[in-house]
Chain A
């Protein structure tokens, strides 16, 4: 029968074709035949290809379809009623066997005819020709339905994933006429691939129950869904590349939108799982990865439940009528709702991952923390908190190691303390200052700035104790006792433990410095020796060295200096100092240049080694040396003047009294000048030693003794102590006025004066001796019965200072040759020379005195205008009886006019100061 059927089919087909393919009058045979053949081909192909219809054979169903369409198409229901009549009559007919098929056929054709009315062309560029689907009937030309690829990349993605669904539908598959939904499900067993559109054109879902005649069916999509959600390609929803998912084309729009929504978590999951696999970044990055991995795992759990549900539902629904799947509870829409929370979480995570690229350590933590604190949504907040708890674990580990051990365990440079590897290894100073630095960008926002500073200090101190002070034993025991686990969220215990740690460590450091390293005693020793605090020692030293140091610098030997130093130490109270201190004391010579004498190159030195040189830095040592040098000079001048004074006073009773007729006036003025200078030097010394140094020392002690002293404060206190000394001690450059130079000039002047006085003294002694001899000669002569004094004597009495070649007069040498002053007198002999010499001496003395006075005036003028009270005080004290008139220095010329106003002002000031002091 098949053949006859075939024949019949053929026949009928031929007939149909004849009717369908129109004959054109003016067409030639060939083309007509061609067309005929084409038509034939097409028809046969179609018929042969699909022997089976694609929907179930239900006449009622077909009738329903038609009816619904009729209802939709025409506003009035009369067509539908007519149809119903016809339908019932048809059913009554016994003739047809395939009623449903015919109805279905008519139904399809009705659509097609409708669509065809718009002149659609079938030029499908991509597929074999008859595959597409005339869905478009809003008047627009459709270029065939291309394989649509939904590249779900970010901007369109985000737009699509606004919470309210797609804001606009993609254009190309706009189907304006909703067709009555074939609410029928079919098992998808023999389904061809989705590239072939077999479904009856124009069907799509209408209502919420989204099943039925579409390709691929919802069941297929649901089956693929768990795979998709895990980021795996599946039959219907393959992933094209890392960031795009291909949705099957020609699905109805609501379905497409649902699939969009479901595609979002899939793509997010894919990119996140890639991130989790990657392994750049530091420890914090790794913990971030693991935290996200955990979250993803819970997401997968969700997917697994979903899959279980779907599978159960599908298993139940195989073969059921339409709507079964929906009734079982698993539809695409439901899946969308179930995955909504997860999608939010995934979205958040991917946003995190994006912004976390390239960050590490503290910055990363700050980023996550900002989510936790500055986002209003509680979901985001809790999520970020969860993440934070796990991310901060490596951070807290590092923190713990740093706080309790002083060790930095930071392989990826993520901590906010970093080790500075380029510091020069010059002792403990730079270890303290430069070995570790704070990097503020890496401070996470979970800890405050103050906290970070304290942590930094604690770690630094621990490290210092361990390495600088060599006290690792204590550090070990401390870390064993106090170390405890730190974690996020525990801010109260964290801050208390930090506080405790801080206090303990600082106290330990200070006590170490004081006891083990005797910081305090060293500072005291520095003051005693370098700042001339130990008066007797200094005096002895000076005495023994004085003659030595008068000689030129290149004849000084270190061993002599050291020997004298030892001698001085042994004979003064300094011997009772501890051996450690005395060991560090040393006498040294500075670099010498030509023409210097020993006084200029001598210096004491106090060696300080680590860890104390954190406080007594190299700069500090230099300052000490500077001050020592200055003080030593002053002391030397004082010493010189006082020895001269002593000689004068003892000599006044004897020698000088005898020559007071000739030299009395000179001596008076000399004494006056000497007294002035002595006064000056005394005041200066007093001021420096007591007002400046002692006061500074008090301040330093107080700072050291403070209960919350840290190493930094100590360093600061010491530095300011030294600075104050140098400034107030007239050594610093205070406001451009160079006191140092003035003072040096003054000191030099004083030394010159002293030499002059010395030569005057020697002159006097010589005179005295001469007179003595004269007296003796007279005596002997008188005894011999001759004249006491003859004229020849007078003439022949040369100056006692210039031995004539004939008379071998004893010549007193009073160090005249040693005077550094340019030679007083030309060496021409005779009384003339002698008188000249005296005159010159006198002149010299006088000039020195006036010079001195002028300079002192200038100095006082400068001092009066210093901002510092103590320096003004010095000025006042020096001039307490107003013997000087201080000069305010003008720019144009030095030693300018006298400032009466200043003088009167200072008179009042002096009066007040005197009252205050009294």
Chain B
């Protein structure tokens, strides 16, 4: 039903909003899109701790690359 869909979508959007606010409160540096991806991952059964670790690791990796690049450029 489109109404149901709509309501669902609306609910989802609201949820995402709420979650986004929460994540902002918690300072997680996640944007909405990433957050929604994460939410879907978690809903699909991924371990939240692992996921959090993944994100942290990737971020760290990125920083390393940044540093390298900065070093190479300089």
A15 at the interface (CB under 8 A from B): yes
In angstroms, Cα B45 to Cα A52, docked, is 9
B30 proximity list for chain A (CB < 8 A): 109
Q: Given A15-B37, A101-B42, A116-B60, are A46 and B54 neighbors across the interface (CB < 8 Å)?
A: yes
Asked if residues B52 and A112 are in contact (CB atoms below 8 Å), the reply is yes
Q: Given A70-B26, A109-B26, are A54 and B49 neighbors across the interface (CB < 8 Å)?
A: yes
- Chain B contact surface mostly: helix
A695 at the interface (CB under 8 A from B): no
Asked if residues A130 and B33 are in contact (CB atoms below 8 Å), the reply is no
In angstroms, Cα B11 to Cα A108, docked, is 25
Asked if residues A110 and B48 are in contact (CB atoms below 8 Å), the reply is no
Question: Within residues 109 to 165 of chain A, which ones have a CB less than 8 A from any CB in chain B?
Answer: 109-110, 112-114, 116, 119-122, 130, 134
B1 at the interface (CB under 8 A from A): no
Q: How many A-B residue pairs have CB under 8 A?
A: 170
B59 proximity list for chain A (CB < 8 A): 20, 112, 116
Q: Mark A275-314, 1 if CB is under 8 A from B, else 0.
A: 0000000000000000000000000000000000000000
Asked if residues A105 and B43 are in contact (CB atoms below 8 Å), the reply is no
Which listed residue (A16, A43, A97, A102) contacts B19, Cβ 8 A? A102
- The size of the chain B interface, using a CB distance under 8 A, is 49
A93 proximity list for chain B (CB < 8 A): 11, 14-15, 18
Which listed residue (A15, A50, A69, A114) contacts B50, Cβ 8 A? A50
List the 8 closest pairs (A to B, CB-CB), nearest first. A110-B26, A105-B48, A108-B52, A112-B56, A109-B28, A16-B37, A101-B48, A46-B50
Which listed residue (A5, A47, A120) contacts B60, Cβ 8 A? A120
Asked if residues B26 and A86 are in contact (CB atoms below 8 Å), the reply is no
**A42 (CB) vs chain B CBs: closest residue:** B57
Asked if residues A200 and B49 are in contact (CB atoms below 8 Å), the reply is yes
A106 proximity list for chain B (CB < 8 A): 19, 22-23, 26, 28
**B35 (CB) vs chain A CBs: closest residue:** A106
In angstroms, Cα B34 to Cα A20, docked, is 8
In angstroms, Cα B60 to Cα A21, docked, is 10
Q: Mark B36-74, 1 if CB is under 8 A from A, else 0.
A: 011111111111111111111111111111000100000
Which listed residue (A12, A52, A95, A109) contacts B56, Cβ 8 A? A109
B12 proximity list for chain A (CB < 8 A): 95
What are 21 A-to-B residue pairs whose CB atoms are below 8 Å?
A16-B34, A17-B58, A20-B55, A50-B49, A70-B25, A79-B25, A82-B25, A90-B18, A93-B14, A93-B15, A95-B12, A102-B19, A105-B38, A106-B19, A109-B28, A110-B28, A112-B28, A112-B52, A122-B60, A130-B53, A130-B57
Q: How large is the interface on A (under 10, 10 to 19, 20 to 34, 35 or more residues)?
A: 35 or more
Which listed residue (B22, B50, B51, B64) contacts A121, Cβ 8 A? B64
Asked if residues B50 and A47 are in contact (CB atoms below 8 Å), the reply is yes
Binding site for A on B (CB under 8 A): 8, 11-12, 14-15, 18-19, 21-23, 25-31, 33-34, 37-65, 69
- Other than the given A90-B22, A134-B56, 19 more pairs (CB < 8 A) read A9-B45, A9-B46, A12-B40, A15-B33, A19-B33, A20-B59, A21-B58, A24-B65, A46-B50, A53-B48, A66-B26, A89-B18, A98-B43, A104-B49, A105-B38, A108-B48, A109-B56, A113-B26, A113-B27
A179 to chain B, nearest CB (A): 14
A209 to chain B, nearest CB (A): 24
A905 proximity list for chain B (CB < 8 A): none
Which listed residue (A39, A82, A110) contacts B23, Cβ 8 A? A110
In angstroms, Cα B33 to Cα A292, docked, is 71
A103 at the interface (CB under 8 A from B): yes
In angstroms, Cα B58 to Cα A717, docked, is 105
A113 proximity list for chain B (CB < 8 A): 26-29, 56
B45 to chain A, nearest CB (A): 6
In angstroms, Cα B50 to Cα A108, docked, is 10
B51 proximity list for chain A (CB < 8 A): 46-47, 105
Asked if residues A16 and B41 are in contact (CB atoms below 8 Å), the reply is yes
Asked if residues A96 and B37 are in contact (CB atoms below 8 Å), the reply is no
Asked if residues B11 and A13 are in contact (CB atoms below 8 Å), the reply is no
A772 to chain B, nearest CB (A): 158
**A82 (CB) vs chain B CBs: closest residue:** B25
In angstroms, Cα B44 to Cα A51, docked, is 11
**B51 (CB) vs chain A CBs: closest residue:** A105
Question: Within residues 51 to 90 of chain A, which ones have a CB less than 8 A from any CB in chain B?
Answer: 51-54, 66, 69-70, 79, 82-83, 86-87, 89-90
A702 at the interface (CB under 8 A from B): no
A107 at the interface (CB under 8 A from B): yes
A77 to chain B, nearest CB (A): 12
B46 proximity list for chain A (CB < 8 A): 9, 47
In angstroms, Cα B18 to Cα A116, docked, is 24
Asked if residues A42 and B28 are in contact (CB atoms below 8 Å), the reply is no
Q: Given A9-B41, A66-B26, are A19 and B31 neighbors across the interface (CB < 8 Å)?
A: yes
A480 at the interface (CB under 8 A from B): no
A559 at the interface (CB under 8 A from B): no
A104 proximity list for chain B (CB < 8 A): 48-49
In angstroms, Cα B53 to Cα A43, docked, is 9
Asked if residues B62 and A9 are in contact (CB atoms below 8 Å), the reply is no
B60 to chain A, nearest CB (A): 6
In angstroms, Cα B33 to Cα A296, docked, is 66
A49 at the interface (CB under 8 A from B): yes
A378 at the interface (CB under 8 A from B): no
Q: Mark A20-53, 1 if CB is under 8 A from B, else 0.
A: 1110100100000001001100110011011111
A376 at the interface (CB under 8 A from B): no
Which listed residue (A15, A19, A95, A103) contacts B8, Cβ 8 A? A95
Asked if residues B49 and A20 are in contact (CB atoms below 8 Å), the reply is no
**B34 (CB) vs chain A CBs: closest residue:** A19
Asked if residues B47 and A52 are in contact (CB atoms below 8 Å), the reply is yes
Asked if residues A98 and B11 are in contact (CB atoms below 8 Å), the reply is no
Q: Given A89-B18, A106-B23, are A43 and B58 neighbors across the interface (CB < 8 Å)?
A: yes
Which listed residue (B22, B53, B69) contacts A83, Cβ 8 A? B22
B60 proximity list for chain A (CB < 8 A): 116, 120-122
Query: Which of the listed residues B25, B49, B65 has the most CB atoms from chain A within 10 Å of its own CB?
Result: B49
Asked if residues B22 and A86 are in contact (CB atoms below 8 Å), the reply is yes
B69 to chain A, nearest CB (A): 7
Asked if residues B58 and A39 are in contact (CB atoms below 8 Å), the reply is yes
Q: Given A98-B42, A119-B63, are A12 and B37 neighbors across the interface (CB < 8 Å)?
A: yes
A8 at the interface (CB under 8 A from B): yes
In angstroms, Cα B72 to Cα A332, docked, is 53
A122 proximity list for chain B (CB < 8 A): 57, 60
Asked if residues A105 and B52 are in contact (CB atoms below 8 Å), the reply is yes
A785 at the interface (CB under 8 A from B): no
